Structure 1
Amino acid sequence: MNVQATQSPWGILSGMPLSKGHGTGNDFVLVADPDDAYRIDEETTARICDRHLGIGADGLIRAVRSRHLPEGADVLRTAPEAEWFMDYRNSDGSAVEMCGNGVRVFVHFLIDQGLVDLAEGGEILVGTRGGAKAVKREKDGYVVDMGPWELIFPDEASSRGTDSLVEADGMPVARPALSISMGNPHTVLALAHADELRGLELHRPPHVEPVPQAGSNVEFVLPSEPLVTDGIGVITMRVHERGVGETHSCGTGACAAAAAIRYWAGRGAPDDWAVQVPGGVVSVTFFAAADGVEHVLLGGPAELVASAKLS
């Protein structure tokens, strides 16, 4: 039997160099495309991120100079130093506003590719669809100023403490939750026991009612007992990301989870939090920024694990 060679399924992307990286288990395919040469559409992103037929990842990050994209040009109007834009898509190909783990890995990738020179203690501004984000390099990773957090449904939250109900497989009844924006939408609910957290089946998207306009990532959070140790709040989290499914970590989700638990804890709750996720631990810190608005810092590691080319 003669076997004929078939054309590469990647078309003009065949031979494209890429890297694989992760932040606490939240994994990404990364592509350096400084001058916007690769047009990686929704369908191609989904194929590359497929864990059986592609490379496999929670999402794809393209490093492109901000001036080449309309969203990047918008960022440059207010943050002209943001030369590089993190063009991020979920594994289903959908474009996403921001990814806290992804932006750390993105900066690590820029350094690895020789596209930026950033020493320990140095800071860089990165363009995202959620605006410019300042990322500082530290000895054991990176710290990102994620910007302000806010309640998505403030009237309902202020009157009841919660604003929605969440149903999920493995959870016998719907639970009250709080909707938090970190530039992207999150719905956070607290659980009482570790067995509840372990028993969740997150293969299917949880049902949120009412759901934020752009959909929602859903965080299931177990506060530690005691909640605060040595001045640091400690919580454990699992997350279902819209357009992806359950992931080992979610940076914006960790920030939203800490914000919700802190909101419920009330006056006297700490500003510093350790958020334990299946892929490790990230730090979340709340602080008053120069603009007078409370911002959130996210800290954690970033690793590159492989380099390759599409066949």
Structure 2
Amino acid sequence: MHGAGNDFIVLNGIDQDLSDITREQWQKLAHRQFGIGADQILLVEKSTRPDADFRYRIFNSDGGEVEQCGNGSRCFVRFVLDQGLSNKNPLRVEVAHTILTLKSHEDGQVEVDMGAPIFEPSKIPFDASGLASKQEFHEMLYALPLNAPATHDSWVAAISMGNPHAVQVIEDIESAPVTEEGAAIERHAAFPKKVNAGYMQILSRNEIKLRVYERGAGETLACGTGACAAVVSGIRRGLLDSPVKVHTRGGDLQISWGGISNDVPTPVIMTGPAITVFKGEVSI
């Protein structure tokens, strides 16, 4: 399946036990030459909580498990409905340490309540000690010193959407050093669990272009949580107004955020496509 070009292997872990698959086997499945090929693998399982309909786990193409995936969550709900695993709409799904609410629309678009953004550095997690910082409207920006091939500081906002993001604003999305600089940001020491590096070009107050270098996967055609983080950062910097259309290389997403109410961040709502490409079997 894919959500705006961000592609996934989606596995039914309810009718079969897939709990003993190793990291190396996940890597092989995700390999585009020696396996099926995907940015990430989604494993659909029975919920472990009474307030959720399902649980799903997310594995990057490097075999590592991660907490959250926005485009994957849309594919998850499309998969569950198409496979006849549930006829509920909306659905509540357990991911890592939170619950997402997902709704499928008649036009094929899927709306996801992504939960509230997290700004507290220790919860991202992000260690800002020793970094230069500056405030832009309501947003705090930090200078990340980068080693070769990049030899300059990148001013980023650090945000979590259930997974960590470092977002920066650039003038031209096409010439942005996403693959080179993104790799250096991904493994920067300030982010103990690594980070997704987002590059945002502002087109208007309600429209942006976005590229994201995802931790454990490299640059993908779209990143749902990256789109949420970018829009939240742009609104906090006084550059954007909700809702915002996000143009990724794989398609468009719409992100809405109501800001902060009574000192509490409101949930981010993401709407976008979820497409099934093919179905099959593989022997492990």
Q: What is the TM-score normalised by the length of structure 2?
A: 0.85
Task: Give, in whole Å, the separation in 2 of the partners of 1:50 and 1:203.
Answer: 23
Give the drift of 1:310: 0.8
Matched, 1:255 2:228: yes
Q: Deviations over 1:220-275 (max 9, x none)?
A: 11111xx22xxxx1111111110111100110000001111111116xx4121111
- Shifted more, 284-293 versus 34-43: the winner is 284-293
- Give the corresponding residue for 1:280: 251
Matched, 1:51 2:29: no
- Give the corresponding residue for 1:173: 152
Matched, 1:309 2:272: no
What RMSD in Å do the two structures reach over aligned CA positions? 2.6
Q: Do the aligned residues in 2 keep the contact of 1:168 with 1:200 (CA within 8 Å)?
A: no
**Cα gap change, 1:33 to 1:200, in 2 (>3 Å):** closer
Q: Do the aligned residues in 2 keep the contact of 1:36 with 1:64 (CA within 8 Å)?
A: no
Task: Give, in whole Å, the separation in 2 of the partners of 1:203 and 1:190.
Answer: 14
Matched, 1:87 2:57: yes
Q: Which runs of 4+ in 1 moved over 4 A?
A: 154-160, 166-172, 288-292
- Give the corresponding residue for 2:13: 33
Q: Gapped runs of 5+ residues in structure 1?
A: 1-20, 68-75
Amino acid corresponding to residue 129 of structure 1 in structure 2: A
- Shifted more, 170-179 versus 236-245: the winner is 170-179
Select the structure that is richer in helix.
1
Matched, 1:112 2:82: yes
Give the drift of 1:165: 1.8
- Give the corresponding residue for 2:125: none
Q: Deviations over 1:181-238 (max 9, x none)?
A: 11110000110234533x54359713365522211000011111xx22xxxx111111
Q: Gapped runs of 5+ residues in structure 2?
A: 123-127
3-state SS of the aligned residue for 1:201?
Answer: helix
Q: Deviations over 1:93-133 (max 9, x none)?
A: 11111100001101111111110114xxx311011014110
**Cα gap change, 1:211 to 1:115, in 2 (>3 Å):** same
Task: Give, in whole Å, the separation in 2 of the partners of 1:259 and 1:218.
Answer: 15
- Give the corresponding residue for 1:183: 162
Equivalenced residues, count: 268
Give the drift of 1:287: 2.8
- Give the corresponding residue for 1:237: 210
Identity of aligned residues (%): 29
3-state SS of the aligned residue for 2:72?
Answer: helix
Report matched runs for 1:46-195 at 5 Å.
46-67=27-48, 76=49, 80-118=50-88, 122-140=89-107, 141-153=109-121, 159=135, 161-165=140-144, 167=146, 173-195=152-174
- Give the corresponding residue for 1:296: 268
Q: Do the aligned residues in 2 keep the contact of 1:203 with 1:246 (CA within 8 Å)?
A: no
Matched, 1:201 2:179: yes
Q: Do the aligned residues in 2 keep the contact of 1:275 with 1:281 (CA within 8 Å)?
A: yes
Task: Give, in whole Å, the separation in 1 of the partners of 2:220 and 2:147.
Answer: 16
